[in-house]
Amino acid sequence: MKFARPRGTNDIFGEQAASWRRVENALAVYLRSCGYREIRTPIFESTELFVRAVGEATDIVTKEMYTFADRKGRSLTLRPENTAPVMRAYLENGLYRGGGVARFYYIGPMFRYDRPQAGRFRQFHQIGIEALGSGGPAIDAEIIDVSIGLYRVLGFPPLEVRLNSVGCAVCRSKFREVLTASLIGFKGGLCDSCRERMETNPLRIFDCKECSAVKEKLPVITDHLCGECSDHFIALQGILTSIGIRYVLDPLLVRGLDYYTRTAFEILHPFLGAQNALCGGGRYDGLAEDCGGPRIPAIGFSAGLERLMEVLPGESDAARHERETDVCFAVLDEASVARSLSLARELRDRGLSVVVDLSGRTIKKQLKGASDAGAALAVIVGLAELEPGTVALKKMKTGEQRPVRDVALIAETLKEMELTDE
């Protein structure tokens, strides 16, 4: 043989390729049922995009990017992650002008020059979602709920959510001083890389696998959050509890990219030992400004497909037929968020495609959004004239509206409408 595949890459073919395709299709169908629509970005982008977005002092930028000059000398980089490209596309194409929350998902290859090992490659594949346009904790809860559902679709056992807040620029600026002062006494116990990080980006020390003993002794940012970040974190925990998502607070959890703010989380498999992280994500409220746009709050997560396929418990029957939106929820106030998210989850588990409007817009605009999405039904949550626990079910085609309590009635109504249409 004259040629072999480059180190850290894989050929996928035969039954393995078929398995990948079935899993990708099932996940895409699930994400569309949650209101996320596909976005495809170029495999290479301007190097400056990743330097500014990911962070000049991160390992990705300093050690792991595949960077090259084109024929006109412009520096380009194979994408090491896809959040920054999605944000660039969102801004460049003016997608933020429509208002509300823009929801995207992507599936595709990424590239990092890293040491190949089990589940980690130099060309690897990610599935991820991004929700742009809402700064409230409700969308954080939805993202975490959707990330758990991604694995539930594939038959995984109950997974563990690790949760933290990494604060905002104000919090981190003050915490950095506290952390740097504390690190001076532990400098001798740090690895070479973390001794460099002390000067450039001390928060990255919490992301180091070699310095675990030191990390346990350091101050944590959750003890130094500003009032707004603290309120956001407490509200998020309240919503997660209300919709039945268990989580573990992990003050040492940070993400490996500089753009993260406030919420950071990981989804762990309880039976995989040290390599148990399946996916992770968080909020990145300053990224739009770093990319030259207006301030647009956002949150997302990504999961490595190689790792997912490696621990897949067996292919499920989750490859449902593709469908457009069945039901849209119009949420009238913050008190109705948890109820809406819980009902939506129950309907999705029944095989329906459901979108929850968390934009905070007027009911008129939310119902217009439901109509634009082609939803057959709208569920209005939070109408003052209804009894507690009751929602309004509206047939979008006829305008007929009635109160309901049982999720089963929503699913049955949709089935009856489909039979009538036939």
Provide the CB-side half-sphere exposure for 243 (13 A, CA). 27
Instruction: Going from the first residue of the chain to its last (422 residues), give the mean pLDDT of each consecutive group of 10, the final group possibly shorter.
Output: 89 88 94 96 96 83 92 96 96 91 96 82 95 96 96 90 92 86 81 80 78 83 93 97 95 79 92 78 93 94 92 60 76 95 94 94 96 93 92 94 90 79 54
Q: What CA–CA distance (Å, rounded) separates 157 from 313?
A: 9
Task: From 401, 134, 92, select the one nearest 285 (Cα to Cα).
Answer: 134
CATH class of 14-168+226-310: alpha beta
> Contact 78/111 with Cβ under 8 angstroms?
yes
Which helix (H) or strand (E) covers residue 378, if one does?
strand 377-381
CB atoms within 10 A of CB 93: 10
Q: What CA–CA distance (Å, rounded) separates 170 from 53?
A: 18
Amino acid present at 59: D
pLDDT at 404: 94
pLDDT at 54: 86
pLDDT at 13: 87
For the domain spanning 327-421, the CATH number is 3.40.50.800
pLDDT at 321: 40
> Contact 389/340 with Cβ under 8 angstroms?
no
Altogether, the residues listed in the chain come to a count of 422
The DSSP bridge partners found for residue 327 are 354, 377
Both tokens of 248, joined, read: 């573990």
pLDDT at 403: 94
Domain boundaries, the chain: 14-168+226-310, 170-215, 327-421
- Give me the phi and psi of 421, to 5 degrees please: -65, -35
Provide the CB-side half-sphere exposure for 26 (13 A, CA). 19
Q: What is the pTM of this model?
A: 0.84
